[in-house]
Amino acid sequence: MYFWLQVQFFQMINNKLTWPVVIISIILLIAVVFAIQIFGVRNRIDTSVTAYKFEVLDSPVSGMLKSNNNFLNILMLRMKNPGIENNGVFKFELLDNQGNQVRQISFGGMNIGDPGDLRFQFESIPDSAGKEYRIILTPDDSEPTVFVEVSKEEEISYTSYFRTVNKSLAAKSFANLLKGKIVTNLGFFSFWILLLFGILVYDLRKKS
């Protein structure tokens, strides 16, 4: 099959079919990627706080989270347990703006990489959209100290996710995500498209 494809490619590389075949191949590639993203992915990004540095976790560290979507269900934190030597017990808490505990997870030091992303997955919160939460990470007194990534404001850095409950919502959410990335980086996308277009035009004009 591969041999056959390669032979076909050799034969068509210098004829009129080259560009249509290349462009169709690219469209097919992107279609497959988008299909996986829309039909396969269930937990989608909600919001995030950018990391700035690792902070020693020798006392409770906290951070604020304002969820943009309902069904908030995952928080990803980045931590570092040098040499994976600390095997103490740590506590992750999610509190609402009244200070009530909404979710809590205890975890061992052995779950922390050197460094590594740590995933806190809990039962999704159905009405999380627009609500504020406080994240608290509490260490015990075990040694050696571990680190957690924090923002410039020294609050926990994280990425939160929500669970999509139907495919149309998933498609809409994915389209919005993509649109947001393109709109906020319009300069680059314009340059990129122009560059691709330039290569295409250069080759076709030279040929004619």
Partner 1 sequence: MGNRRIYAVAAFFYIFILPLFFHPDIKTIFYQSQFLSQGVTNIYSFLTSNPERAMLGPFVYPPLAYFLLGFIYLPVKLLAGSGFTEWLAMGNDAVGVNGIYQYLFAMKLPLLVTFFISGNVLTRLVDGEKTRRRLLVLWFFNPISIYTVGFMGQIDSLVVMTTILAVFYAKRSPYVASALLGTGALIKSYPLLLIPFFVVLVSTRWRDRIKVALPGFLVYFIGIAPYLTTPAFYESSLVSGLSQRMFQLSLDLGFGEQIPLIPLSLVIIFLIATFKHGGNIGKIGAYFLAVLIIIVVGVHFHPQWALWALPFLFLFLTRKGKRKRVMWFALALYILGWLATFVLIDDKFLTWGIISTFDRGVLFLPSVSQIVDNFVDAEYIQTFSHILMAVSGVFLAASAIFSNDK
The footprint of partner 1 (CB under 8 A) covers 1-3, 6, 9-10, 13-14, 18-19, 22, 26, 29-30, 33-34, 36-37, 40-45, 48, 50-56, 74, 76, 78, 80, 82, 114-115, 117, 147, 149, 157, 159, 161, 174, 177-178, 180-181, 184-185, 187-189, 192, 195-196, 199-200, 202-203, 206-207
Residue 130 φ/ψ region, left for φ over 0, alpha for ψ in the -120 to 50 degree band, beta for the rest:
left
Which residue, 50 or 101, has its beta carbon nearer to partner 1?
50
Q: How far is the CB of 99 from partner 1 (least distance, A)?
A: 29
The CB density around residue 202, as the number of other CB atoms within 10 Å, is: 10
Query: 61-66 and 132-138: which strand pairing?
Result: antiparallel
Those residues with Cβ within 8 angstroms of residue 132's Cβ, 6 or more apart along the chain or in another chain:
64, 65, 66, 96, 97
Closest CB to partner 1 among 46 and 93? 46
Nearer to partner 1, 133 or 147 (CB): 147
Q: Is the Cβ of residue 97 or residue 207 nearer to partner 1 in the bound state? A: 207
Give the long-range contacts of residues 22-25, CB within 8 A, separation 24 or more. none
**What are the percentages of helix, strand and coil residues in the chain, rounded to 5?**
40, 35, 30
CB of 39 to partner 1, least distance (A): 11
